Amino acid sequence: MTNPKEHSSSQPECFHCLESIPLGFIQTVEYNNHLQPVCCIGCQAVAESIISSGMTDYYKFRTTAAGKVQELIPEQLLMFKSYDDADIQEDFIHQSGELSEVLLSIEGISCAACAWLIEKQLLTLGHITRIDVNTSTHRAMILWDKSNLKLSTIIEALVRIGYKAYPFQPDIEEAQKQQVAKSYIRRLGVAGIMTMQVMMFAFALYFDMFSDMEDDFEQYFRWISFVLSSPVILYSALPFLTSAIRALKVKQLNMDLPVSLAIFGAYIASTWATVFNTGEVYFESICMFTFLLLLGKYLEFRARLKASEFTSNLQKLLPLTARIVEGFQEQIIAAKKLKLNDIILVKPGEIIPADGLVMEGKTTIDESMMTGEHEAVAKVVNDQVYAGTTNHDGVVKISINQLGTHTLINQIVTLQNKALASRPKLAEITDKVAQWFVATLLVVASITAIYWYGIDPEQAFWITISVLVATCPCALSLAIPTALTCSVANLTKKGVLIKKAHVLETLTKIDSIAFDKTGTLTEGCFTIKKSHYLNDNYDGQTILALASGLEFHSQHPIAKAFNFDTSSIGLFDDISVETGFGIKAIYKGQTIAIGKNGWFETLKLPVQVVLYINEKAIAAFELEDKIRDRADKLITYLKNKQFNTHLLTGDPSQAGIALAKKLSFDDVKIGCSPEQKQKHVANIIKQNHIIAMVGDGVNDSPVFNTAHLSIAMESGADISKNTADIVLLNSDLSSIEHLIEISHKTRRIIKQNLALSLIYNSAILPLAAMGMVQPWMAVIGMSASSIIVITNSLRLLKPF
């Protein structure tokens, strides 16, 4: 555990968020009778409200810094109010008797101290019966009295201590996963507790071999072991049996079949031995086996559950509310109540709730979540706008022409779901091994039974059972889950989330990789490529400071390229945005403006942005979307490994071809719609290639389900992260290299594990068939082979 306060450098840090304090900002808060500096008014307000309500423990025990607090604008407060609307609430509030239950997804939870802070803060509101904050899913379940406390009040209370919250509805798939996780824990608990008891009696029975025990006691202990192990076998081990039967029904043999044969075969034989007081009992072995196997499977499942929880916490694509205009009145209603031809008003920064035509006003719209292109698109009267895109700078009235499933965004989602149903699947190595194993086992067991039946019918049954127990595929069935768990843990540490079980195995078979351009190979945001200074009276530093100071007030994606130090300049007056041109203001009596080339004076330079002072061009900037640092290295690596590389971009310009040439891609397709991307990938698959797709936008999500494997960037759209098999948390392309390396290493370890366990099983099989194996020998052999396999898997945890 590291204390964030220890990271302090010579520069003063904000007491709340630990970020550096901008020069000239000298606000403080009082904590433990000392004045502590803060970096902004937002952090100050939050820190004061935390300290004044007596929750200073938060600062004492937190393990990570709090997020920087953003001040709320009145528009957002209005949004919170809309959560109190009954129409909107029915989507995410469940009524249980008098009380209501809601799940809030909370941004900014970073450690256990946050959970404590949130619980404390909300309980002071009263009328809350129960609150449960989960720090790994970043959600809070709240059970409260709706009639006395509004949901918006709860959300506002969270904002006051620096957390952004919004109501959340988990999808069906995730709810099912949670159920599976719970049932794993229950089965594991029963197996663990009961195995301990059974082992205790087993030891008593072991000692019986060295010193004679009274027959009554021996029989009594056997009965007790039977009673205690029955729940383990009939409850905890049941999923193995059902899975084996399910596979048999579709005429397949899977790994669960030999497992169930061993567990249930030995259980029935031991029960027989107990009831009729003959033979041997194996209760402790099968209980231990069940427990270990469940543990391995649960750990693997949990690693994937955590990854999928991370991405399912994402905001809905479309806003819940819309601002409808009727006559001259505007009114906020639930977005799902909108009808065709309704007129809605969309303000700057808002997300458009439905497809429609612009009726009035002009604006620029960020359609990046659809197209992946971050350059905003200008829209005037009669232009089509799409649900889910973000309005930038103008206020527009929109007449709705498509709703619900007919909107473009929902059509993309439908496309994606269709692709999922027909997704190619590769046979998994486990099942292949299992088929051989089961076949051999059954043949040997039946030969043993028949052979011994001829020689000694009395012994035949017991020797056959000992064959089943001795060949119990304990190490074999641990070989794969343990290796996968260790690799997934290693990858998670590197910021790579694995969401599907097949990923590591599929990765080793891949021979082609397709990339999206904007946001994947490039950073998806603009940086200054070249600056032209046109007036000697202003030096570069002042020009950049002025440009940054002005662009700070702009929502346009280009504005992000200008984030230079503005401490040398003063404040702007009369800031105004001119839609389609840029932004201007008065500074020290002069009109200063920044915007597109040709706003005032047209320059014959290939520049996108020009800075004007009193309508004279002072400086001009060439911008570009920078290629990610590691892109070059990654493509070279893939070339060396004989991968085919494809570039599929939605951008129709020549930039894609230029980029493909620069990075020497094998193949490039430009101007692709989501369907065309799917088609290209499907074609590649038809040529017997196994392909992975790397992308980030909404337009990539359908193709994600067409490719064998999909990788999304953390910086990408929520929906693509939700669909992808793998999410790169640091959006670092070199992770892909690491991913491929580790998948090959995992495969090597799995093969070693399988070989080791098969050696043990094939060595003991003939001995058991000859009736030469004592139960204790089988137990020692089984444990030793399992330990060897687990230790081998642990090697994957080592970073390399």
Partner 1 sequence: MSIIYVLIPIAIIFVIIAIAVFFWAVKSDQFSDLDKQAHSILFDDTEIKNKTNKKKSENNDDTSSL
Residues engaged in binding partner 1 (CB under 8 A) = 53-57, 61, 111-113, 115-116, 120, 124, 132-137, 141, 178, 181-182, 185-186, 189-190, 193-194, 197, 217, 220, 224, 227-228
What is the β-pairing status of strands 28-31 and 34-37? antiparallel
Residue nearer to partner 1 on the CB measure, 288 or 475: 288
324 neighbors 343 (Cβ within 8 angstroms): yes
- CB contact burial 621-646 (16+ within 10 A = b; e otherwise): bebebbbbeebeebbebbeeeebbbb
Residue nearer to partner 1 on the CB measure, 54 or 799: 54
Residue nearer to partner 1 on the CB measure, 189 or 671: 189
Least CB distance to partner 1 at residue 303 (A): 14
Tokens of 475: 């190490």
Least CB distance to partner 1 at residue 236 (A): 11
Distance of alpha carbon 669 from alpha carbon 652, whole angstroms: 9
Least CB distance to partner 1 at residue 112 (A): 3
Least CB distance to partner 1 at residue 143 (A): 12
Residue nearer to partner 1 on the CB measure, 201 or 462: 201
Residue nearer to partner 1 on the CB measure, 116 or 552: 116
- Bridge partners, 513 (sequence order): 645, 692
Residue nearer to partner 1 on the CB measure, 39 or 115: 115
Residue nearer to partner 1 on the CB measure, 193 or 380: 193
Residue nearer to partner 1 on the CB measure, 118 or 613: 118
Q: How far is CA 728 from CA 226, 557, 629, in A?
A: 49, 23, 15
Least CB distance to partner 1 at residue 132 (A): 6
Tokens of 246: 């399910």
Least CB distance to partner 1 at residue 115 (A): 5
- Beta strand segments in 597-742, E: 609-613, 616-627, 644-648, 667-669, 691-695, 709-713, 726-728
Least CB distance to partner 1 at residue 520 (A): 33
Least CB distance to partner 1 at residue 140 (A): 11
385 neighbors 379 (Cβ within 8 angstroms): yes
DSSP state of 113: H
Residue nearer to partner 1 on the CB measure, 1 or 427: 1
Residue nearer to partner 1 on the CB measure, 304 or 556: 304
The continuous run of DSSP H or E covering 132 comes out as: strand 128-134
Tokens of 652: 């129709």
405 neighbors 726 (Cβ within 8 angstroms): no
Distance of alpha carbon 423 from alpha carbon 508, whole angstroms: 18
SS3 621: strand
Residue 764 burial (CB count, 10 A)? 23
The continuous run of DSSP H or E covering 343 comes out as: strand 343-346
Least CB distance to partner 1 at residue 226 (A): 12
Least CB distance to partner 1 at residue 120 (A): 8
Distance of alpha carbon 47 from alpha carbon 57, whole angstroms: 12
Interacting residues of 275 by C-beta distance below 8 A, sequence separation 6+: none
